[in-house]
Structures are given as structure tokens and as C-alpha cells.
Structure 1
Amino acid sequence: MARCGGRSLISSLLLLLVALLTISPSHGFVKTEKKIKSASFLSPKLVMNPGSVANPFLFDIDFPRGHVGIKGFDAEVVDQDGNPVPLHQTYLHHWVVQPYYVRKGFKLSQRDMPRNHGFSRHLGSKPDYILVRNGGLCRNTVRHFFGLGSETRKTSTRVPDPYAIEIDNPEETPDGYEFKWLLNIHAIDTRGVVDKSGCTECRCNLYNVTIDEYGRDIKPDYKGGLYCCYDKTQCLLRNGFDSVEEKTRTLYLKYTVRWVDWDSSVVPAKVYILDVTDSWEPSQGSTGDSQEHFCHVEYEVKPCKTSGDGCVDVKKKSLMMPFNGYIVYGAAHQHAGGIGAALYREDGEGICTSMPKYGNGDEPGNEAGYIVGMSSCYPDEPVKVTSGETLTLEFNYSSAVGHTGVMGLFYILVTQQLPEQESSLPALFQAHTKSVSFLSFLAAMVVVAVVVLIAAVVYRRQKREDGYQSLST
């Protein structure tokens, strides 16, 4: 009986020792999931007819108000009953969302954008409104915070914990201004058109336009793109398919925002958009500042002279990063024909590869022939980037056939600070890592000494008892 009790005591002490030795000052990042809020909104209506194009700039849209951190932004086109609309009926070329400040009492209209590139007429020495731009790098375009295209339904925009995109910090609002949101939707109704892919690629011959939306002549060598499918243009319909009144439909962009109220536990991350058409080139004294960049946004993929799987158009651009920080998210934007994009360092070390997902059916989110999603990157450890470092963009398109108006944008989220680590131990043990480690080690050594001492005592007692029992037999 004594032997059994002694062994039980030793076992218990050994288990205690193991438990103490396995306690470590494990740390984890502050979580924000429990605080995440979500709300869905509808844009102002879009009235669409077969072959029609809508590309409005919509001001003061519904959006969460106050000092918040955005954790995600998703969108899709729906009809007046709230049903998702497939891409083969209405193609979502793109949607973009951008914040701005507006003078109190002043209301913007469609004619204020985008002709004046961020500023309307002035009252006194101050502009009527000021666009809030993303972190960079393009100075002339691509200024938005959020935006996708046909891939929007199956592309993750989740901002990983504990990061968020800081919005409407009251300390940054200019006196006399209010914080608002702008939405631009570019939708193309392809019902009854002669060439769906041609309409979605905005080929100029299908739109019968010779001037752009500002009245400027379109260059003869410009075959297709944004200059030919602006608001209220019309793509060519099949013979006998007339745009009659009963074919008119009312659509909306349904967008869902996820956010948290801003507090000290949230780590700010900035949006940067890199464009493979950026004209920036390295020069002596260059800093990579946005004033040095001019982004063309779109380009043409010419058909290859041979046929087969080897027909791939590869476009690369190396850009100097003007910031110190850590990349915590990445995703690319491509049009139909896209076969993948990558962001990597000069030595070839990969940072993010974003691949398209093509649909294979008719239902919304799985439309055959369309890009219905792009893969997103969530690195296990934030990727450090140093100011002055050069990163390379690479966009690949199939060139088995030509494509007009394609894009090569790469979205990254960059934080300039890593989150503080929070101990998972009780408050009594929340101390500096080295101190906790030393105390744990010291406590473990004390327990080891006690275990050895008790074991020795028990062993001697058992030995005496074993000897007495043997003499009695």
C-alpha cells in the first residue's frame, strides 16, 4: 500500500513538473474579430438597356460613419428584387470607392468628376472638395481605397487581424469640411450585343465613337479601352434585337462593409496600388514619390503570331518603394485573358502570387469565360519592405487572341508598425519575456529539487518495508 502511494505521489509530482516546464510566455496578437460590425447598402439605381453603359460617379453614398477601421469591402450587382445579376447579362467592368472632404453646405454633381481630377471650382482660397488618396503610387489615377471588377464575388478583401484601414480620423479633417464617400460604378449591359467579349473589352468599333467623354479625338491606333465605353455609350446590338422599353431594367451595386470602431488595439494599415503600366523609371536622386509616377491604367495585349498554350504576354515593371513597412495583404486585378500576376523582390524572392479563377457555368459567381475571383495573399509573417527598395510587378495574359483595355493592378496593404504582443498568461505572470522565462526556469529547478528529495525519502522507506516483508516470509 505504501509502495502504491509513493509511486502515486511521485507520478503526481512529475506531472506537476511537466506542466510547469511546458508553461511558456506565449504571446498572441490583440484580436478584433469579436468587435467587427457589418452592414450592407445599395447604391443609387442604374437604369440599363441592352448594350448600354453606365459609368456614374455617385457622391455621399451610404457608409459607416465616424472614426472607424475598415476590415473588408465586398460588392456585387443585383436587380430591383435583390437577386444577383450574372456577368453575361451585366458585366461589372469595375467599381471603386474613395473618400473625400467637401465644404459644408456644398453638394457635388456628376459634372464635377472626373474632369477636374479631384478639385472643383474654388470658393476663395479653398477648394470645394478634396479627394483623399490611397498611399500611392500613382499620382494621376488609381487613387481609390477599394475597388474590383468581375472578380469581386470571389476575391477576399478581408483585412487580417489586428490591422484595419483607418477612416475619418477627426484630427485629420480640415476645418469647415465634412468627410464623405464617392462611388464609381462601370457596368456594361451585354444582352443582345453582337460580341460580348468585344463589348466588355470596350473595342471602339463596337461603340461607334471617335471622341472620348471630354470631347477629345480618340487616336486612330487606340483600338479599345476606357476612352470608348464611357457613361451613356452604346455597344452594337444584333439585328432584330431592339432596345425596347420592356427590356429596361433597374440595377444596383450592393456593397457590404465590415468595420471596427477605432481604438488603440487596432493597428493602421495603408492601401497601396501598384500599376504595371506605370511610366516611372529610376533616375539619379529619385525617391519613388507619387509625383514621379504616371499610370496609364490599361494596355493592349496583341495576338501572338503562333497558336497554342505558349502564347503568353508578359508585362513587367520595377518600382521603387517610398516607404518603410510590412506587407500584410496582397491581391491583383486582371481582366478576361489574365493568367496570373506576381510581386517579387529584385533577387526573385516572391512576395505574393495572385491567380485568377474562371467560372464554368451560368449562375452568378460562376460565369463561364469570366474571371470570377482572384486569389489573395495573407503572409504568415508580415513582409518587410525598406524605403528605396525595388519591387517588381509581373502580369501575364494569354495572347492566343488579342485583348484591349486590360489592366494590371496590384493591391497591397502596408503597416508601418507591427502590433504589440499580448501575453496569454495571467496578469501575475505578465512581465518581460526574459523575466518570465527566468522565473519559470527558477521555479522548475525548485520543483525538481523537491521531487528528487521526496523521491529519495520514499525510496528509502520502501526499501525498509520491502526488507521487513522479506524477513517475515
Structure 2
Amino acid sequence: MMSLATRGLAFSLAIALLVICARISEALVTIENGLKTMVYLSPKITQHPGSVSNKFYYDVEFPKGHIAIKSFNAEVVDEAGDPVSLQETYLHHWVALRYYYRKGVKNVKYNANLGFQQADFILAGNDGICDHGLPQFFGLGSETRKTSTDIPDPYGIEVGNPLKVPSGYEERWMFNIHAIDTRGAVDAMGCTECRCDLYNVTVDKYGRPLEPNYVGGLYCCYDGTQCKVKNGIESVERNLYLKYTVKWVDWSDSIVPVKVYIFDVTDTWQHTGIHDCHIEYDIEQSTTGVATNDFTSTRSSRGVLPIDGDVVYGVAHQHSGGIGSTLYGEDGRVICASKPIYGQGNSAGDEAGYIVGMSTCYPKPGSVRIVKGEALTLESNYSSEKSHTGVMGLFYILVADASLNLNKQIHEESKVPIFFWGFAVFGLAICAAVLVAYRRKKQHEDGYLSIAT
């Protein structure tokens, strides 16, 4: 017979295994008025003071089937599931990307260096407008906790359509998560801005020498780099996770599909005719701001939309120092203005000095139309009271293609018989009862609670 010590060890190992399985397994679905919700955890992100994790995680958990995404939210949490302050771990960015992977090929999972040019891998990006880079469908940074991502009815982002998956492939999702641990940092904000001198970096992640005038940005804070910390700081390692919540509905003809477009203020199109998006840029400290009482640094770019469409959502992405972005139509009308929300305290979601949210735009359906080929202007404003490196000026919009002629579909009243709704409500009640019973059974058998809300 096993000794008490052996039994205790076995029990502890079993509990640990259950916790691991709970973190990487599919959560139970919550359903409310047809809206389905799942809460997931990413693979663990291991960090110590000053460390940088900037990895790609392939084949992450994501709802299956032909669906319409209604929102996608995320935040960094610790092993207890508690939100982690930006003052300890700065979420530079997270992006969710869709791709197609050849069936029957060895399953590539986490932390892989697959790249985007492999024969077994097809990146299925958004609708533009950059010719390279920024292919994500969803993504934010430090502002993720207080930025709305809800997509209003009757709109949705269509994914999982089997007719759009190349023959011999299957649809999957991946994350790129860039997190910087600033515990004990000599200059926490400098670490978040990826200043090269704080990282003691002179080459990029491929070993190529940096340009002499490159003083900070993504090329200096790649995966595995280390930002300078104070002397005597103990290197305490911990595991974090990106907790992400996906809401969706099953696809139907009543849903109006929207396309995802991302504009970048570093886009060179207006000068070169090519949408070459550099993604990041620097802000120089103003030498005239005191005299003029103006510390605003403005950068702009132009781009065109390839379709006629109605804007149903808009939001900007900026880094610390940002004071707002605006997307203008060719006639100067404001399509969407998005401003940062800065924290005022020390708690997670309200960190002083950090952008903890961005305001969003939800135009009345059909009220903001963009014409195909219309030249749009993106303007990004930052404070130049001090210099900033590696800042971004992105703008996300969701557009309903006007060529689909869906106005009738949007406004047509439902003709579903009343008795059908009675059956539907009865069916939902039964499903709810089964789900509750299943949860209780799982809690009793597995010894842990689901993280679904």
C-alpha cells in the first residue's frame, strides 16, 4: 500500500494536472439571448524583472464553426486569475490572427518559429489596407481593459466559413503577445518604449546591426531581451496568461458581415503609391513648446478604401504620450475621433501615466458612408513635451460593404411565428438546466471551477 506521503504527492500531482488542463482546455459556453461567450487562457508567459516575451502562439483555442464574432476582449492575469498591473507587466500589444494550416501535417503549437512563408501555412489576414504587416483581426495594447470591442447588431465579423477555406487546409488562430516586465526597472517608461540603451541592444533579433539613428522601438525589445533593472533586484520568476473572452453568434442570413481595415499613420502611400506601413515612429521633444504653449506633435497619412461601405465601428491605437487620433473623409468630415483614457491610480486598469482605454465610435447604421477610392486622412497626435520612441498610430474601422445591398435585410421585420419563439424559449430553458447540471457534475468530478463567465 502507498504511504501517506506517497498518496499526498500523488494527490498534489493530480490537482496540478487538473489545473493545467483547466487552463488550456475549452471553457464551457455561456449563452444569453443567442449570444455565446467563452473565456480562455493563453499558454503561459514566463517572466522575471526586466524580461521581454514577444512570442507567437499557434493553434490557440477559438470557437469552432461558421460564426459571427461580436466582441474580443483580453487582459493579462497571473496564475490566480487576478489582473496584473501595467506597472508590473506592460502589455505592449496582443494581436489575434487567422491562418489556414494544411491537414495531416504535424501540429505546430506554442512558441514556434513557423514564419509566414511556409508551404503548409497560409495567413488569412484582414482586408487591409497595408501591403504587409498588420494582418490581425483583433488586437490592442495597454488600453485593452477599458476599450469597447462590441460589434452592434445586426453586424458581425464572419469567420469559420468552410467555403472560404482552401482545399486540404483547416482554419486556425494564433496570438502574438508582447509583454514587458518592468518590476524593478531603472526606467519603467523607457522599457515600455523599448529604448535601445536600456536594453543594451545593438542588433535586431536576426543579428543584423541596427541603424545608427535607431534609438528605440520593436527592434530593441524582441523576445528574450532584458531591460535594465536596479541593482539588488531579486530575479523572481512568475507565470502570466492572456485571458481572452470571445463573444459570437452562429452565422445566419440575418447577420450583416463587416470587413476589418487598419490604417497606419506611417503608411507611405501618399508619397510612393504603395501602402508600405512602418508601424512605429518616434516623437522628438519640442524645442518651441514652452514659448508657444503647444506640445502637440502631429503626423498624418492618407489611404483609400477599396469598397463603398458604411462605418459601424472605429478605434485608434496609441502608446503613452498619445493625445488622440482622427480619421477624416476626403471632404474633411470626421469619420471617427478616438482619444486615450489615462489611468489615475495604481490598481489594474487605472495605472497612472498609462493609457488604459481608447474611446470608440459607433455611428448610426448608414450614417457614415465611405466611397470606394475616397482618399482618407489619418491624423495621430502625441505630446512632444518629452521625446518618445517606438510609438504607434493605428486606426481600426469595421465597414459593411454597401455593394451587398443589405438595407432591406437590416430593417426588415422578423416574420418568425410566435409559436416558434415559445418552442425556442422552452428549448433554451432545457439547455440551461442541462448546462447547470453538467457544470455541477464537472465541478464534483474534476475538483475545479470553469473560468467561463
Partner SS state of residue 50, structure 2: coil
The amino acid of 2:167's aligned partner reads D
Query: Contact 2:256 / 2:410 at 8 angstroms: preserved in 1?
Result: no
The amino acid of 2:276's aligned partner reads F
**CA-CA distance at 1:34 after TM superposition:** 2.4
Equivalent position of 1:203 in the other structure: 195
Equivalent position of 2:237 in the other structure: 248
Equivalent position of 1:360 in the other structure: 344
Equivalent position of 1:380 in the other structure: 364
**CA-CA distance at 1:424 after TM superposition:** 5.2
1:414 aligns with 2:399: yes
Match of 2:307 among 316, 323, 328: 323
Equivalent position of 2:108 in the other structure: 108
Partner SS state of residue 112, structure 1: coil
**CA-CA distance at 1:173 after TM superposition:** 1.0
Q: In structure 1, what is the Cα distance between the partners aligned to 2:34 and 2:257?
A: 16
**CA-CA distance at 1:347 after TM superposition:** 2.2
Q: In structure 2, what is the Cα distance between the partners aligned to 1:380 and 1:33?
A: 24
How does the TM-score come out when normalised to structure 2?
Answer: 0.81
Q: In structure 2, what is the Cα distance between the partners aligned to 1:343 and 1:278?
A: 14
Partner SS state of residue 219, structure 2: helix
Superimposed CA distance per residue, residues 403-451 of structure 1 (whole angstroms, 9 cap, x where no aligned partner)? 00000000000111444244559899xxxxxxxxxxxxxxxxxxxxxxx
Equivalent position of 2:321 in the other structure: 337
1:405 aligns with 2:424: no
Query: Contact 1:326 / 1:415 at 8 angstroms: preserved in 2?
Result: yes
Q: In structure 2, what is the Cα distance between the partners aligned to 1:180 and 1:426?
A: 36
Counterpart mapping for 1:196-235 below 5 A: 196-235=188-227
Equivalent position of 1:306 in the other structure: 288
Superimposed CA distance per residue, residues 20-75 of structure 1 (whole angstroms, 9 cap, x where no aligned partner)? xxxxxxxxxxxx98221111000000111000000110011011011111000000
Equivalent position of 1:83 in the other structure: 82
**CA-CA distance at 1:104 after TM superposition:** 1.1
Query: Contact 2:102 / 2:121 at 8 angstroms: preserved in 1?
Result: yes
1:192 aligns with 2:188: no
Partner SS state of residue 191, structure 2: helix
C-alpha distance 423-218 of structure 1, shift in aligned 2 (>3 A):
closer
Equivalent position of 1:155 in the other structure: 147
How many residues align? The count is 378
Match of 1:169 among 156, 161, 170: 161
**CA-CA distance at 1:388 after TM superposition:** 1.1
Q: In structure 1, what is the Cα distance between the partners aligned to 2:349 and 2:113?
A: 34
Q: In structure 1, what is the Cα distance between the partners aligned to 2:416 and 2:228?
A: 70
Greater gyration radius: 1
The amino acid of 2:275's aligned partner reads H
Q: In structure 2, what is the Cα distance between the partners aligned to 1:166 and 1:33?
A: 20
**CA-CA distance at 1:281 after TM superposition:** 2.3
C-alpha distance 261-390 of structure 1, shift in aligned 2 (>3 A):
same
Q: Which runs of 5+ in 2 are unaligned?
A: 1-30, 418-453
Query: Contact 2:190 / 2:198 at 8 angstroms: preserved in 1?
Result: yes
Equivalent position of 2:40 in the other structure: 41
| Aligned-pair identity (%) | 55
The amino acid of 1:228's aligned partner reads C
Equivalent position of 2:12 in the other structure: none
Equivalent position of 1:15 in the other structure: none
Question: Which stretch has the larger CA shift, 198-207 or 417-426?
Answer: 417-426
**CA-CA distance at 1:307 after TM superposition:** 4.0
Partner SS state of residue 348, structure 2: coil
Query: Contact 1:338 / 1:356 at 8 angstroms: preserved in 2?
Result: yes
C-alpha distance 232-426 of structure 1, shift in aligned 2 (>3 A):
closer
C-alpha distance 370-425 of structure 1, shift in aligned 2 (>3 A):
closer
Counterpart mapping for 1:135-150 below 5 A: 135-150=127-142
C-alpha distance 96-195 of structure 1, shift in aligned 2 (>3 A):
same
Counterpart mapping for 1:67-82 below 5 A: 67-82=66-81
Q: In structure 2, what is the Cα distance between the partners aligned to 1:425 and 1:189?
A: 52
The amino acid of 1:298's aligned partner reads E
Q: In structure 2, what is the Cα distance between the partners aligned to 1:77 and 1:421?
A: 37
Superimposed CA distance per residue, residues 186-240 of structure 1 (whole angstroms, 9 cap, x where no aligned partner)? 0000000100000000000000111111111111100100000000100001112
C-alpha distance 310-128 of structure 1, shift in aligned 2 (>3 A):
same
C-alpha distance 425-44 of structure 1, shift in aligned 2 (>3 A):
closer
**CA-CA distance at 1:386 after TM superposition:** 1.2
Q: In structure 1, what is the Cα distance between the partners aligned to 2:240 and 2:218?
A: 21
Query: Contact 1:192 / 1:241 at 8 angstroms: preserved in 2?
Result: yes
The amino acid of 1:37's aligned partner reads K
1:280 aligns with 2:278: no
1:181 aligns with 2:173: yes
Q: In structure 1, what is the Cα distance between the partners aligned to 2:207 and 2:416?
A: 68
Query: Contact 2:254 / 2:410 at 8 angstroms: preserved in 1?
Result: no
Superimposed CA distance per residue, residues 345-370 of structure 1 (whole angstroms, 9 cap, x where no aligned partner)? 12211110000000000001100000
How does the TM-score come out when normalised to structure 1?
Answer: 0.77
Equivalent position of 1:294 in the other structure: 276
Equivalent position of 2:377 in the other structure: 392
Q: Which runs of 5+ in 1 are unaligned?
A: 1-31, 121-126, 287-291, 429-473
The amino acid of 1:89's aligned partner reads E
**CA-CA distance at 1:384 after TM superposition:** 1.2
Superimposed CA distance per residue, residues 371-394 of structure 1 (whole angstroms, 9 cap, x where no aligned partner)? 000000000233211111111100
Partner SS state of residue 55, structure 1: strand
Please provide the CA RMSD for this pair: 1.8
Q: In structure 2, what is the Cα distance between the partners aligned to 1:391 and 1:172?
A: 30
Equivalent position of 2:14 in the other structure: none
1:265 aligns with 2:254: yes
Query: Contact 1:33 / 1:161 at 8 angstroms: preserved in 2?
Result: no
Superimposed CA distance per residue, residues 269-313 of structure 1 (whole angstroms, 9 cap, x where no aligned partner)? 011000000111268xx6xxxxx3110000000000034451110
Question: Which stretch has the larger CA shift, 389-398 or 303-312?
Answer: 303-312
